[in-house]
Amino acid sequence: MTQEKKSINKKLEEKLFYKKESSWTEYGPKNQKKIFDFAEKYKDFLGQCKTERLCINYAVSALEKKGFKEIEKCKSLKKGSKVYKDIKGKSLVAAIIGGTAEKISLVGSHVDSPRLDLKPNPLYQNAEVSLFQSHYYGGIKKFHWVNTPLELHGVAFTKDNKEVDIHLGGKPEDPKFIIPDLLPHLAKDQMKKEAAKIIEGEDLNIICGHIPVNDPDIKDKVKFNVLKYLNDEYGLIEEDFICAELEFVPAQQPVDIGFDRAIIAGYGQDDRVCAFTSLMAFLEVQNPVNTAVLYFSDKEETGSNGDTGAESFALLNFTEEILKLMEMDISPFRVLEKSRALSADVTGAMDPTFSSVNDPQNVSFLGKGVSIEKYGGGGGKYSTNDAHAEYMQFIRSLVMNHSIPWQTGENGKIDVGGGGTIAMLMSRYGMDCLDAGPCVLAMHSDCELTSKADVYSAFELYRAFFHN
């Protein structure tokens, strides 16, 4: 074969083959500072907003600073109006009315992450310590949650109806909480168990106190002092745990990983990486063609049920309210049907050590850009919205036109496992929808990993999407 022939084939190969470079290469050194600066803002958010309520608070104050008004307080809306609806402090919808109000560009993510909630009557003492019984929330490997310092966030109500916000463990000087694992010396039987049973649900007991009250008349002396602390500090009594939502989450702050600091490690990146990037993109939107809608859902990790989950009618209600305030005689169902959406959620990244669970040709890699997935779910494509080729093409054109690094993949080999997102719930209305977000290593662990380049490209995709 001649040299000339080779180079013709080489050129043809470049044209024909699907190949994805690292987005670090695509972005080049000139964009690195921008990507790293954005990551710092994201890490700050991630470290502050470790529960769904904290995420909503953060978003509401960011929106209000940009002139968004609560929809309940608006008498009318017009093109350019900026409104939001806080749904019980755990979910949120916000809109910027576009030129064509009857069509929406929607980016929806979820702000809940796996965690440990308290049982309704959680406090007891044993072996000279006081403990809380917890009830885990979402899909976790329970053994991740032992020996890791925890912080506490939540709300409780006193009998006389006072709302008490509790945040403890987030500051470096704060005390933390912990679930101690069994010492290896005595773990012979534990180590023979299958991994799912090494630590079981009922073993997730969190140490919260140790000093006993010095009084022979009191039976549970350590528990007494914990209750006394809670009463002195917050005015709470034991019965108030029944009217409370107290969540324990890893106390570790987000950190950079590696000599080059290109990876972020932190709790709750599923799916707060998409919540943050879509919020930042949304805050930049000006004069959108379609009405731009940002949606933060709750309860995704437990199936999207309930009044703050994506299975609720939050989007429908909000759309109906907008149309009414605009005096538009059109059904909210019709508007949602004609709309288009991104289900902004993460996917599993190719694991460098446990690579056998992935098909190397159909998996997302850290650092190859925002992952755009036609479907999620599991098995024979159950529990997903399988996006249409037409819509995949629409989104491909969008990322191409904006030179946004992107990739695609499936979350694991067929029949190995799977996982759902809110895509299938948003698409119920008839709107086009696909999944798009950064890929994550060690997903659903207490310390998840993302590439700063992917975080940035997700932001760029959501921004471009809102503007189109």
**131 phi and psi, to 5 degrees?**
-135, 155
**Which residue's beta carbon is nearest to the bound Mn ion?**
271
Sheet containing 150-157, strands listed edge to edge, beginning at the edge strand earlier in sequence = 163-168, 150-157, 244-250, 115-126, 129-137, 205-209
Tokens 């299975």 belong to 311
**Shortest separation between residue 227's beta carbon and Mn ion, angstroms:** 35
Question: Which of residues 50 and 467 has its CB atom nearest to Mn ion in the complex?
Answer: 50
Helix locations, 209-300, DSSP H: 221-234, 269-283
Question: Which of residues 321 and 345 has its CB atom nearest to Mn ion in the complex?
Answer: 345
373 lies in the site for Mn ion, by CB under 5 A: no
In the region spanning residues 118 to 177, those forming contacts with Mn ion, defined by CB under 5 A, are none
Distances (CA, A) of 60 to 68, 86, 108, 147, 438: 9, 8, 16, 34, 24
112 lies in the site for Mn ion, by CB under 5 A: no
CA dihedral 183, 187, 190, 192 (to 10 degrees): 140
**Shortest separation between residue 346's beta carbon and Mn ion, angstroms:** 5
**Shortest separation between residue 344's beta carbon and Mn ion, angstroms:** 9
Q: Which stretch binds Mn ion (CB under 5 A): 252-260, 338-346, 352-360, 396-404?
A: 338-346
Question: Which of residues 240 and 270 has its CB atom nearest to Mn ion in the complex?
Answer: 270
Distance CA 54, CA 45 (A): 10
Distance CA 124, CA 103 (A): 54
**Shortest separation between residue 422's beta carbon and Mn ion, angstroms:** 8
Q: Which stretch binds Mn ion (CB under 5 A): 142-150, 345-353, 359-367, 405-413?
A: 345-353
Tokens 């079981």 belong to 200
Residues in binding contact with Mn ion, number by CB under 5 A: 3
Question: Which of residues 151 and 271 has its CB atom nearest to Mn ion in the complex?
Answer: 271
Question: Which of residues 271 and 460 has its CB atom nearest to Mn ion in the complex?
Answer: 271
Contact string 31-70 vs Mn ion (x = CB under 5 A): ----------------------------------------
CA quadruple 276, 460, 95, 297: dihedral sign: negative
CA 270 to chain centroid, in Å, comes to 4
**Shortest separation between residue 345's beta carbon and Mn ion, angstroms:** 4
Structure tokens at 384: 């997903």
**Shortest separation between residue 444's beta carbon and Mn ion, angstroms:** 6
298 lies in the site for Mn ion, by CB under 5 A: no
345 lies in the site for Mn ion, by CB under 5 A: yes
270 lies in the site for Mn ion, by CB under 5 A: yes
321 lies in the site for Mn ion, by CB under 5 A: no
Query: Which of 26, 151, 240, 271 is the binder for Mn ion (CB under 5 A)?
Result: 271
Asked if residues 204 and 142 have their Cβ atoms less than 8 Å apart, the reply is yes
Please, is 30 exposed, middle or buried when counting C-beta atoms within 10 Å of its C-beta (0-12, 13-18, 19+)?
exposed
What single DSSP character describes residue 135? E
Q: Is 335 helix (H, G, I), strand (E, B) or coil?
A: helix
Q: Which stretch binds Mn ion (CB under 5 A): 193-201, 208-216, 258-266, 340-348?
A: 340-348
C-beta atoms surrounding 403 within 10 Å: 10
Q: Which stretch binds Mn ion (CB under 5 A): 10-18, 39-47, 341-349, 395-403?
A: 341-349
Q: Which stretch binds Mn ion (CB under 5 A): 15-23, 158-166, 199-207, 266-274?
A: 266-274
Q: Which stretch binds Mn ion (CB under 5 A): 16-24, 247-255, 265-273, 322-330?
A: 265-273
247 lies in the site for Mn ion, by CB under 5 A: no
**Strand 82-87 to 255-257 pairing:** unpaired
448 lies in the site for Mn ion, by CB under 5 A: no
Question: Which of residues 151 and 270 has its CB atom nearest to Mn ion in the complex?
Answer: 270
Question: Which of residues 148 and 269 has its CB atom nearest to Mn ion in the complex?
Answer: 269
The DSSP result for 394-438, as a single string, is HHHHHHHHTT--EE---SSSTTT-EE--SHHHHGGGT-EEEEEE-
Which stretches of the chain bind Mn ion, using CB under 5 A? 270-271, 345
